[in-house]
Chain A
Amino acid sequence: MTGLALPAIVLMVVVNAYPVIYAGIQAVHDGDLLGLGNFVGFANFQDALTDPLFWRSARFTVIFSLCGVFGSWIIGFALALMLKPDFAGKNLFKILLLLPWIVPIVVSSMSWNWLTATPGSLLPMLAADLGFGRVMFLADPTMAMITVCIFKIWISYPFMMMMMSAALEGIEPNINEAARVDGANARQRLRYIVLPMTARSTYISWILMAMFSVNDFATIYLLTGGGPVNSTTSLIVLAYRSVFQDFRPGFGVAISFLMTAALVTMSVILLRQMRKANMQ
Chain B
Amino acid sequence: MNDTTASRLKMTRRGFLGTSAAAAAAATFGQPAAFAAEEIKFWDMVWGTGAGYTAAAKELVGGYQPAGDNLGVRYQSVPWANWYQTFTSAAASRTTPAVSSGAAFLPFYFIEKGVIAPADDLIASIDKAGTNDFLPGVLEAMKTDLGYAAMPWSMDLRVVWVRKSLLEKAGVEAPTDWQSFIKVGEALKKIDVVGLGLAGGSTTTDGQHTVSALLINNGGGLFAKDGTLDCVNDRNIETLDFLNELVRKGIIDPYAASYTSDNVTRDWLSGRIGMGFGQTGLDKNFPTEQQSDLAVISPIKSPRGDTGTVYYINPLMMFKTTASQASSEAFLGWYLDNMKVFWEKGVATDVPVRKSIADLPILKQNANLQKSIAEWQPIGKTIGAQAPHPFGALNAVDGGGAGAAFIQQIIEGKTGSKQILETLQAALEKIVK
Contact = CB atoms under 8 A, between A and B. Distances in A.
B255 A119 contact: yes
A225 B255 CA distance: 15
Contact of B396 (A25, A141, A224, A245): A245
Contact of A113 (B22, B88, B260, B430): B260
B365 interface: no
B396 A247 contact: yes
A273 B129 CA distance: 79
A16 to B, nearest CB: 15
A227 B257 contact: yes
Interface in A1-59: 18, 21-22, 25, 29, 31-37, 39
Given A117-B259, A227-B201, A247 B431 contact: yes
B408 A227 contact: yes
A118 B267 contact: yes
Main secondary structure of the interface of B (DSSP, over half): helix
Contacts of B270: 120
A134 B253 CA distance: 12
Contact of A246 (B202, B259, B431): B431
B203 interface: yes
B84 A228 contact: no
B49 interface: no
B203 A225 contact: yes
Contacts of B202: 224-228
A229 B412 contact: yes
A227 B407 CA distance: 10
Contact of A244 (B85, B109, B115, B405): B85
Interface stretch (B12-20, B306-314, B381-389): B12-20
A233 interface: yes
Interface residues of B, number: 48
Q: Specify which of B84, B257, B267, B409 lies most central, judged by the most chain A CB atoms within 10 Å of its CB.
A: B257
B20 A36 contact: yes
B335 to A, nearest CB: 26
Contacts of A119: 253, 255, 272
Contacts of A113: 260, 263
A238 B20 CA distance: 27
A117 B20 contact: no
A149 B240 CA distance: 32
B263 to A, nearest CB: 5
B92 interface: yes
B400 A225 contact: no
B23 interface: yes
Interface residues of A, number: 41
A33 B259 contact: no
B272 A120 contact: yes
A16 B25 CA distance: 16
Contacts of B288: none
Contacts of A136: 254-255, 257-258
A134 B257 CA distance: 14
Nearest to A251: B430
Given A25-B23, A117-B259, A225 B18 contact: no
B84 to A, nearest CB: 5
B420 to A, nearest CB: 10
A21 B22 contact: yes
B255 A246 contact: no
Contacts of A141: 412
A118 B266 contact: yes
A144 interface: yes
Nearest to B14: A35
A272 B270 CA distance: 58
Contact of A138 (B22, B258, B395, B400): B258
Interface string B254-277: 111111100100110010100000
Contacts of A36: 17-18, 20, 23
A241 interface: yes
Nearest to B401: A241
A248 B431 contact: yes
A25 to B, nearest CB: 5
Interface string A87-115: 00000000000000000000000000100
B45 interface: no
A144 B404 CA distance: 15
Given A227-B404, A244-B84, A244-B85, 9 more contacts: A21-B22, A25-B20, A32-B113, A36-B17, A224-B201, A224-B258, A227-B200, A241-B401, A247-B395
The 5 closest A-B pairs by CB, nearest first: A225-B202, A36-B18, A138-B258, A227-B202, A228-B408
23 contacts: A18-B29, A34-B91, A36-B18, A37-B18, A117-B255, A117-B259, A117-B263, A118-B266, A119-B253, A136-B258, A141-B412, A221-B203, A225-B201, A225-B203, A225-B404, A227-B202, A227-B404, A227-B408, A228-B408, A230-B401, A233-B401, A245-B84, A246-B402
Interface of B: 16-18, 20, 22-23, 26, 29, 82, 84-85, 88, 91-92, 109, 113, 115, 200-203, 253-260, 263, 266-267, 270, 272, 395-396, 399-402, 404-405, 408-409, 411-412, 430-431
